[in-house]
Chain A
C-alpha cells in the first residue's frame, strides 16, 4: 500500500551568522491514510522544522534544502509547481494545527470572520479556478450559495469538536475564548477544507492536563471518523502513547527509531529512546536524566549524532550514520548496537 505521505532522506539546514546549521539529516518517515503517527523528540531535534518542510513554509531566505524528497499522493512537493502546491495542497490537502492557538489568530477580527476567510479560499466546495482570476484577493467575490453551504459545514464541525453554541462563539474575538476552546477551534479549522493529512505541532502542550485529555481524545476520534491521517509532533511521550498508531523518534535532526506504538513503549531499541523512557518520572521517585547536552547543529557530531552521549558508542558510530535495521515488521532502528529483545 503506497503511503499517503513519504518523506525520503530529507536534509536541510539554515544559514545563520555562525555558519550553516544542519537541522535535518536524511530524515525519512511515512504515514498511511487515516493513521496517527507521533513524532517524538526533545527541543532542538527538528520535528517542527520537519513539519514546516512538509507544509512548505520554511523561511525562504535562510532555509536550504540539501537533499531528499517529500512524496504526497504520488507527487514530490519539493519539486512540484509552487502555484499548484499552494492551491491544492497547502491548507487544503495538508492542514496544520499550531502549538499556540492564541498567536495564530488575528486579534482584530472575530473568529467567525477568520474561519469564513479560510473557507473562501480553501473550501472543498470551491471550484479550483484554471487561472488565478484577475481580481485581487481582497475584492474577490464569495458566492452567496457557497457561503451558506460553507457556514453550515462550519457549524457542523464546531459541534463535532464539542464547542457549545457555535453561532454565538463565532461572533467572539480570540481573546474572549479560553485556551481549550481556541485549540478546538483550530482543529475544526484544520478539518474544514477536508484534508487528507493534518499536521498537529504540539497541539496540547500549552493546555491543562484535563483539557489535554479531552483534546487528544477529540483528535483521535475525528481522525478515525473522517479517515484523516495525523502527524502529531510532541515531546510528551504520554500524549504519543495515548492516540498514536506508530511513533517515530528524532534526535538532533536525525530519525533514530520508529515502531508501532505498543511495541515502541514495550521494547525500545535505540539507546536514546530507552533513556528517554527511563527519564519519565516514576512513582518511586527514581528517574534518570541523560548526561550531556543536545549538540549544536552548526558543527554536529559525525555519524550517529547521539554517540557523544551514548554508552554503547564505538568506532563506526562516529564515522557513518547507521543504516536502517528492520527488527520486526514495522519496527526499524538506526543503530549499530540497538537493544534487542531478550530471547
Chain B
C-alpha cells in the first residue's frame, strides 16, 4: 500500500464540488422524457502525491466522472477546481492549456494511438501542440520518457500494429507523460488483463509515479487492484459517493452497507467461501429511475422508513466519511 507522504497543509490539486452530470433520455421527436443521472452530486478532493481510488460497479458513474473532469462531458451543475483554477466553464482554448497538466489514461492506452501514425510522431504530437521546443528538444524528452517506460528507441519508427499490445500500452502512457502532467486519471487500467500482466502493469504505474512525481486518480471496479495501489478510496453507487476513507479503513472497517457487500463479494483464496452465503440480492436499480431517499435502500438489509424519506448526506468522522443513516 502506498502511504500518503506529503504534509496535509498542501492545498488539494483537484477539487470537485457537488458535480452533476445528467444525460437526457429522448423519446420520439427528440423530446426529453427523462434523464439518467450518471453523476448526481459528487464532491471530493485530490491531494498532491496521493493515489486516490474510485470504486464502484457498472452504472455507478465513475467513468463518467473521470471523463467529465477531463472535459469530455459537460457537467450540468457543480464545480471542478484544478490547481486553484475553476475549469468546468472554460473556453475550449483555455481548456487545452489545462490538459497539459491533467491527463487521462484510457483503459487500453494503446488504442489511443492513431494507427496511421508512426509511434515517434504520436509521441511528438503533445509536445508540438503544447510547447515551443524544437525537434531536438522534443527528441531528448521523448528518449527520456521511453527509457522510463522501458521501451527501446527503435520503436519510434514502427507503427502501433507492429508492436505487441503490452508495448502499445506503454507507448500510450509515454505519450501522456511527455507533457509532465501533475495528475493522471487512470480509467480501469487493468480491466480485461490477465493476472500476471496486471501485476506488471501496476508495477509500471508505481515506478512512473515515483519517477515523475505524479498524482493518480484510479478508477476501477477491481477492489484487489485498488487495495494494492491506493492510499485513499471512495466508493460510488448510482452516481453518488457513499463512503470515503483511507484504504485500510475502508477494507478493514467498512461502514456503509454497500461497501460491506462489495467486500463480502470478493473471493478470499484460502478462506471461507463467500458465494455460499452472499447476502446482497438483486441488482442496482435503473439509473433513469433512482429510488427516493437513499438510493441503496432497495437492497439494503437495514432499510427503514427514514431511508425512503431522506437522502443521507456524507458525514465526516476523522478521515472517513459515510453517507448512511445507520452506518456501522
Indicate if A touches B (C-beta under 8 A): yes
Tell me which of A179, A210, A265, A282 contacts B280 (CB under 8 A): A210
CB distance from A162 to the nearest CB of B (A): 8
When distances are taken between beta carbons in the complex, the residues of chain A under 8 Å from B276 are 217, 220
Tell me which of B57, B223, B228 contacts A285 (CB under 8 A): B228
- Cβ B265 vs Cβ A265 within 8 A: no
- Cβ A216 vs Cβ B195 within 8 A: no
Q: Which of A239, A242, A284 has the most CB of B within 10 A?
A: A242
- Cβ B265 vs Cβ A210 within 8 A: yes
CB distance from B190 to the nearest CB of A (A): 9
- Measured in the bound complex, the distance between the Cα atoms of B281 and A217 in whole Å is 12
Known: A210-B280, A242-B274. A281 touches B194 (CB 8 A): no
- Measured in the bound complex, the distance between the Cα atoms of B58 and A209 in whole Å is 10
CB distance from A119 to the nearest CB of B (A): 26
- Measured in the bound complex, the distance between the Cα atoms of B267 and A216 in whole Å is 11
B211 at the interface (CB under 8 A from A): no
When distances are taken between beta carbons in the complex, the residues of chain B under 8 Å from A213 are 264-265, 274-275, 278, 280
CB distance from A297 to the nearest CB of B (A): 15
B2 at the interface (CB under 8 A from A): yes
Listed stretches B87-95, B149-157, B199-207, B312-320; interface member: B199-207
- Measured in the bound complex, the distance between the Cα atoms of B198 and A236 in whole Å is 12
Tell me which of B195, B261, B281, B283 contacts A280 (CB under 8 A): B195
- Cβ A181 vs Cβ B229 within 8 A: no
- Measured in the bound complex, the distance between the Cα atoms of B278 and A213 in whole Å is 7
- Measured in the bound complex, the distance between the Cα atoms of B284 and A211 in whole Å is 10
Known: A279-B198, A280-B195, A281-B199. A208 touches B221 (CB 8 A): yes
B166 at the interface (CB under 8 A from A): yes
A57 at the interface (CB under 8 A from B): no
When distances are taken between beta carbons in the complex, the residues of chain B under 8 Å from A181 are 283
B33 at the interface (CB under 8 A from A): no
- Measured in the bound complex, the distance between the Cα atoms of B203 and A290 in whole Å is 12
Tell me which of A210, A281, A284 contacts B198 (CB under 8 A): A281
B140 at the interface (CB under 8 A from A): no
Tell me which of A178, A235, A241, A265 contacts B195 (CB under 8 A): A235
Tell me which of A209, A239, A285, A290 contacts B196 (CB under 8 A): A290
- Cβ B199 vs Cβ A288 within 8 A: yes
| Interface members, chain B 192-244 (any A CB < 8 Å) | 194-200, 202-203, 221-225, 227-229
A59 at the interface (CB under 8 A from B): no
Tell me which of B1, B164, B197, B261 contacts A284 (CB under 8 A): B1
Task: Render B94-116 as a binary contact track against A, CB cut-off 8 A, 1 for contact.
Answer: 00000000000000000000000
A203 at the interface (CB under 8 A from B): no
CB distance from B108 to the nearest CB of A (A): 14
- Cβ B199 vs Cβ A289 within 8 A: yes
When distances are taken between beta carbons in the complex, the residues of chain B under 8 Å from A210 are 57, 261-262, 265, 278, 280
CB distance from B210 to the nearest CB of A (A): 13
Tell me which of B227, B262, B266 contacts A238 (CB under 8 A): B266
B273 at the interface (CB under 8 A from A): yes
- Measured in the bound complex, the distance between the Cα atoms of B198 and A162 in whole Å is 34
Task: Render A192-235 as a binary contact track against B, CB cut-off 8 A, 1 for contact.
Answer: 00000000000000001111111011001000000000000001
When distances are taken between beta carbons in the complex, the residues of chain B under 8 Å from A289 are 196-200, 203
Known: A42-B196, A289-B197. A238 touches B228 (CB 8 A): no
When distances are taken between beta carbons in the complex, the residues of chain B under 8 Å from A266 are 270
A283 at the interface (CB under 8 A from B): yes
When distances are taken between beta carbons in the complex, the residues of chain A under 8 Å from B225 are 281
Using a CB–CB cutoff of 8 Å, the interface residues on chain B facing chain A are 1-2, 57-58, 164, 166, 194-200, 202-203, 221-225, 227-229, 251, 261-262, 264-270, 273-276, 278, 280-281, 283
> What 8 A-B pairs have minimum CB-CB distances, sorted nearest first?
A238-B267, A289-B200, A217-B275, A208-B57, A42-B194, A213-B265, A289-B199, A290-B196
Can you show 21 pairs from A to B with CB atoms below 8 A apart?
Answer: A42-B196, A43-B194, A179-B58, A209-B221, A209-B262, A210-B261, A211-B283, A212-B265, A213-B278, A214-B275, A241-B267, A241-B269, A277-B269, A279-B195, A280-B269, A287-B202, A287-B228, A288-B199, A289-B196, A293-B164, A293-B166
